[in-house]
């Protein structure tokens, strides 16, 4: 099978150097883990644990043993098997995901940003479920629910409005149990959840080299129930990571490697994806930039390194922009980032529908990004060279003043070319005659067409009732209670 091309952002010697530094720092300096429950398990497994300092060091043997037991490929599963996909991608291409944790939603009807609501979140999820090139859906944050249980409400809405795999993360330690209880209610049993996890969890580092109770409990429960873990580094160059690209790559890789080791200690064979969510601090404003050149280069280099040296699938954000408009800047950043990161080897790229850095989502942008994926995938795809595609006989048989329009070869291959409906190539006369509309206006029209067709997938009443009861239970236990969030 033809395989997509690759670019190298690091030489082999540079990869080896970074790998050795990862092992040296993780075994000599270690990481801070603010969770006694996890510290006790790691100590029993043979890690060097300083309980007072909450510092954990892993020996080289433990690290390399973990890299042996962690799966090098696995199937990401949704609620329905038709949405399952294998990582890494069999052809070396990539999959896409929507953006995560959005609290602001661009309402196309009034052309302004508003708070995410349960209603808009349900519509967003159903829209993403309909779009062919969106393979995974990330959790958003409804603002019309109690803040203490917003993540539980969010997961419930997502699970009831799509059968695609989900991207899930806890917002506080107290909700982790309820998130997994909600998964169990949807699955029906522990065995069913292990067989079809429906989602991936996203524990994150607290850079530099620190892990919170919430994320450690997420890892522990993911390992318990067989839910794949996406080990996510949030290092910010110049703030929580070194300002250089190389320094950020090293720090992020250490944090991801630490989570790989912990998952394999807690439950050998737990699937893990390395997630590179590195950004750069703008020294002029203090903002964390997503679409600047240095951040792109750092994520590309880290993706290549983690995939080659840890031999696990890689996820990173790419369909992101620092612009709050679906404008030229957004299109440039959302084209360049995915193309670059695909060439670096990233298997899943999330951020579809995102505007405004890490703050806002737009259903119109989601529709544009869905089609943009098709173009990037085609551009970065392999060139198939064989006797038939070379069309040697057609070239020899054609006269100097001939053409290839009516050949059998053209008829056989003409449907292989992509024609994304939003990206038109009309003549000037035609555009002027029918009235020229821009990309955004065409996407709005498509959104209005799709919105009329949206509906949640069928779900048995008893399962829906059980899921809703978990949300009510979470509200009863956490809303307005001291210590919650």
Q: How large a percentage of the chain has pLDDT more than 70? A: 99
SS in 3 state form for the chain?
A: CCCCCCCCCCCHHHHHHHHHHHHHHHHHCCEEECCHHHHHHHHHCCCEEECCCCEEECCHHHHHHHHHHCCCCEEECCCCHHHCEEECCCCCCCEEEECCCCCEEEECCCCEEEECCHHHHHHHHHHHHHCCCCCEEECCCCCCCCHHHHHHHHHHHHHCCCCCCEEECCCCHHHHHHHHHHHHHHHCCHHHHHHCCCEEECCECCCCCEECHHHHHHHHHHHHHCCCEEEEECCEECCCECCCHHHHHHHHHHHHHHHHHHHHHHCCCCCEEEEECCEEECCCCCCEECCCHHHHHHHHHHHHHHHHHHCCCEEEECCCCCCCCCCHHHHHHHHHHHHHHHHHCCCEEEEECEECCCCEECHHHHHHHHHHHHHHHHHCCCCCCCHHHHCHHHHHHCCCCCCCCCCHHHHHHHHHCCCCCCCCCCCHHHHHHHCCCCHHHHHHHHHHHHHCCCCCCCCCHHHHHHHHHHHHHHHHHHCCCCCCC
Return the pLDDT at 2: 62
pLDDT-derived band at 418 (thresholds 50, 70, 90) equals confident
Output the average pLDDT for the chain. 94
What domains can you pick out in the chain, each with its CATH number? 1-383+418-485 (3.20.20.480)
Mean per-residue pLDDT for 97-112?
Answer: 94
**pLDDT by residue (tens digit) across 260-286?**
999 999 999 999 999 999 999 999 999
């Amino acid at each position: 099978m033809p395989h997509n091309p690759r670019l190298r952002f690091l030489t082999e010697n540079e990869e080896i150097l970074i790998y050795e530094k990862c092992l040296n720092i993780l075994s000599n300096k270690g990481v801070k883990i603010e969770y006694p429950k996890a510290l006790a398990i790691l100590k029993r497994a043979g890690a060097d644990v300083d309980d007072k300092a909450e510092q954990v060091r892993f020996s080289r043997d433990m690290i390399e043993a973990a890299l042996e037991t962690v799966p090098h490929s696995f199937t990401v599963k949704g609620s329905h098997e038709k949405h399952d996909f294998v990582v890494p991608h069999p052809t070396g291409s990539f999959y896409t995901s929507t953006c995560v944790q959005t609290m602001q939603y661009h309402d196309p009807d009034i052309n302004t940003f508003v708070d995410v609501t349960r209603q808009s979140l349900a519509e967003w999820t159903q829209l993403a479920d309909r779009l062919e090139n969106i393979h995974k859906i990330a959790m958003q944050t409804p603002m019309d629910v109690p803040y203490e249980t917003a993540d539980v409400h969010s997961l419930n809405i997502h699970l009831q409005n799509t059968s695609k795999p989900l991207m899930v993360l806890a917002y506080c330690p107290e909700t982790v149990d309820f998130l997994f209880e909600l998964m169990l209610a949807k699955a029906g049993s522990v065995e069913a959840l292990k067989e079809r996890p429906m989602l991936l969890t996203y524990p994150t580092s607290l850079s530099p080299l620190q892990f919170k109770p919430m994320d450690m409990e997420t890892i522990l429960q993911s390992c318990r129930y067989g839910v794949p873990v996406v080990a996510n580094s949030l290092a910010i160059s110049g703030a929580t990571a070194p300002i250089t690209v190389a320094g950020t790559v090293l720090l992020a890789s250490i944090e991801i490697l630490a989570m790989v080791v912990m998952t394999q200690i807690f439950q050998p064979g737990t699937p893990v994806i390395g997630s590179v969510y590195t950004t750069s601090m703008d020294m002029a404003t203090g903002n964390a930039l997503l679409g600047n050149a240095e951040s792109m280069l750092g994520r590309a280099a880290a993706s290549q390194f983690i995939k080659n040296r840890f031999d696990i699938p890689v996820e990173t954000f790419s369909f992101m922009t620092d612009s709050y408009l679906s404008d030229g800047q957004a299109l440039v950043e959302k084209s360049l980032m995915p193309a670059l990161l695909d060439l670096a080897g990233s298997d899943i790229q999330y951020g579809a529908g995102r505007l405004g850095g890490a703050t806002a989502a737009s259903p119109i942008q989601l529709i544009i990004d869905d089609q943009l994926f098709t173009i990037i995938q085609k551009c970065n795809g392999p060139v198939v060279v064989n006797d038939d595609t070379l069309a040697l006989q057609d070239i020899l048989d054609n006269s100097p003043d001939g053409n290839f329009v009516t050949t059998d070869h053209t008829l056989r291959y003409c449907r292989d070319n992509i024609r994304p409906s939003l990206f038109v190539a009309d003549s000037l006369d035609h555009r002027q005659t029918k009235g020229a509309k821009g990309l955004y206006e065409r996407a709005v029209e498509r959104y209005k067409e799709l919105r009329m067709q949206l509906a949640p997938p069928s779900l048995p009443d008893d399962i829906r009732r059980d899921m809703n009861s978990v949300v009510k239970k979470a509200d009863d236990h956490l809303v307005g209670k001291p210590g919650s969030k």
